[in-house]
């Protein structure tokens, strides 16, 4: 979820001056995308496909408890492009950290797609309602998530390459499961809103994130308002594990 101009195109990418807002059930402000390198060959989903996933009642039905300041967890996220390791820190954003860790632990992100890529800015995923394989809805990618929402955490650290934060609808306290990973130290400018709760940092696997960012785009239906930010091939989170010190 990232936000901006939600009145006419909820959770969609809208350009505002030099700042584009990445909207998808949750959104993130975005600078104009930079040209991409030569795309990688298509990487198919893993086989056997889509046997993991939460069963009803496994995952939180209300906003999870915050993670205490000074507490950390390591979330290892496997994808069909490789493994991404995220250090989650309660000091950064206790509400966001607690939610992401709880959802990773219960299997919420299993078989969920990274549904949005903004070249040079962010990759975004976490819509377990409409972007989970095999029963996904390409017309609603990025518009879903749990029924609960989070209270925003104050942003006290810069958005930089490897930063992981909760996407939202562009209004206060509207984030939940969707998250994004920042691709560049210069993605956030002085005019880019800093209202997306930061909860962690990629400690291993930024090369995997970079590979994901090179996937060809344009996979949304022709009627969508922003067809150029959805990957044309599946980028699948095949599983997550959580460990604590």
In this predicted model, what pLDDT tens digit does every residue of 195-217 receive, in sequence order?
A: 999 999 999 999 999 999 999 98
Instruction: Read off the pTM.
Output: 0.80
Number of Cβ within 10 Å of residue 171's Cβ equals 10
How does DSSP classify residue 153? P
Among 52-56, 178-182, 231-235, top mean pLDDT goes to 178-182
**pLDDT tens per residue across span 183-195:** 999 999 888 888 9
Task: Say if 172 falls within a structural domain.
Answer: yes
**Which of 24-28, 38-42, 71-75, 93-97 has the least mean pLDDT?**
38-42
239 is in which domain, residue-wise?
Answer: 46-243
**pLDDT tens per residue across span 6-28:** 233 333 332 333 233 333 345 55
Number of domains forming the structure of the chain: 1
**Which of 7-21, 42-56, 129-143 has the least mean pLDDT?**
7-21
Residue 48: cis peptide before it, omega within 30 degrees of 0: yes
Number of Cβ within 10 Å of residue 152's Cβ equals 19
Task: Say if 24 falls within a structural domain.
Answer: no
- Cβ density class 8-44: b for 16+ within 10 Å, e for less: eebbbbbeeeebbbbbbbbbbbbbebeeeeeeeeebe
Q: What's the CATH code of the domain at 59?
A: 2.40.100.10
**Sign, Cα dihedral of 132, 138, 142, 147:** negative
In the prediction, which pLDDT does 85 show?
Answer: 98
How does DSSP classify residue 142? T
């Amino acid at each position: 979820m990232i936000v901006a101009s939600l009145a006419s195109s909820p959770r969609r990418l809208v350009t505002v001056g030099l700042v584009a807002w990445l909207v998808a059930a949750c959104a993130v402000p975005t600078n104009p995308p930079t040209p991409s390198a030569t795309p990688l060959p298509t990487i198919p989903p893993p086989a056997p496909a889509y046997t993991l996933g939460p069963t009803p009642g496994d995952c939180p039905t209300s906003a999870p408890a915050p993670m205490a300041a000074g507490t950390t967890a390591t979330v290892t996220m496997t994808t069909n492009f490789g493994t991404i390791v995220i250090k989650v820190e309660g000091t950064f954003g206790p509400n966001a950290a607690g939610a992401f860790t709880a959802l990773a632990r219960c299997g919420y992100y299993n078989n969920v797609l990274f549904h949005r890529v903004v070249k040079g800015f962010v990759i975004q995923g976490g819509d377990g309602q409409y972007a989970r394989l095999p029963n996904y809805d390409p017309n609603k990618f990025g518009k879903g998530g749990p029924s609960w929402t989070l209270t925003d955490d104050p942003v006290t650290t810069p958005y930089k390459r490897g930063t992981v934060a909760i996407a939202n609808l562009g209004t206060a306290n509207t984030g939940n499961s969707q998250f994004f990973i920042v691709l560049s130290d210069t993605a956030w400018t002085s005019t880019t809103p800093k209202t997306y709760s930061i909860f962690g940092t990629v400690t291993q696997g930024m090369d995997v994130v970079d590979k994901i960012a090179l996937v060809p785009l344009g996979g949304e239906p022709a009627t969508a308002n922003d067809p150029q930010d959805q990957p044309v091939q599946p980028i699948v989170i095949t599983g997550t594990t959580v460990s604590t010190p």
